[in-house]
Amino acid sequence: MTAAESHSKYAWLYLPSCLTLLSLIIAMGGERWTTWLRYDREAILAGEYWRLFTAHLCHLGWPHLIMNIAGLLLIWALFGRLLSLGAWLTVLCASALAVSGDLLWFDPAIRWYVGLSGVLHGLFIAGVITSISRGEHSEYLLLAFVIGKLAWEQRYGALPGSESFAGGHVVVDAHLYGALGGLLGTGIILPWRNLFTRKRSG
């Protein structure tokens, strides 16, 4: 196997590895790093725009971090090979901006926020829809599950036990916004992916 082939073979692992590593580094930096990088409404409005992205790498504590990393690894085990690194980055950015931007616009009462869970909902939606587009009709069950979960959260709040495990309040709107961002990102990448496939096969 050449170096290029080896690089291509493991490229699908780069994104979850980087997200995990960065989250661990920030967690080890303690409260000072988290305070500087988390979503902070007043700070963002004052021009600290990096928080729109870095907020999703910060966590309430180690249980919260472990829960989110476990979710990320599960998503990657199910769907990680379906999209290119560039496509996943598109979905990641769309989901992150959807969560932060919509919190800023629609939830002014939320002064600060941390966590990857909103983005994870976007990645999950992208994986499910991509899988369905490839003919995996059984994935409709997963799509129904995540839609049902989001509907439950909007009506009743966080799932039982999730707040006690995470160690703080769960912002369920972030899950909805992230899912919508993932839907938007998928709408961007799938037409280009299909066009590239047609050209290659033609």
Q: Which of 145, 161, 167 is nearest to 65 (CA)?
A: 167
pLDDT tens for 114-162 read: 999 999 999 999 999 999 999 998 999 999 999 999 999 999 999 888 8
Residue 31 is predicted with a pLDDT of 94
Alpha helices, DSSP H, located in the chain: 3-10, 14-37, 41-45, 51-54, 62-79, 85-106, 117-133, 140-156, 162-166, 172-201
pLDDT value at 193 more than 80? no
Q: Are 59 and 112 in contact (CB under 8 A)?
A: no
Q: What is the rounded distance in angstroms from the CA atom of residue 27 to the CA atom of residue 194?
A: 39
- The structural domains of the chain, ordered by start, are 3-201 (1.20.1540.10)
pLDDT band at 195; cut points 50, 70, 90: very low
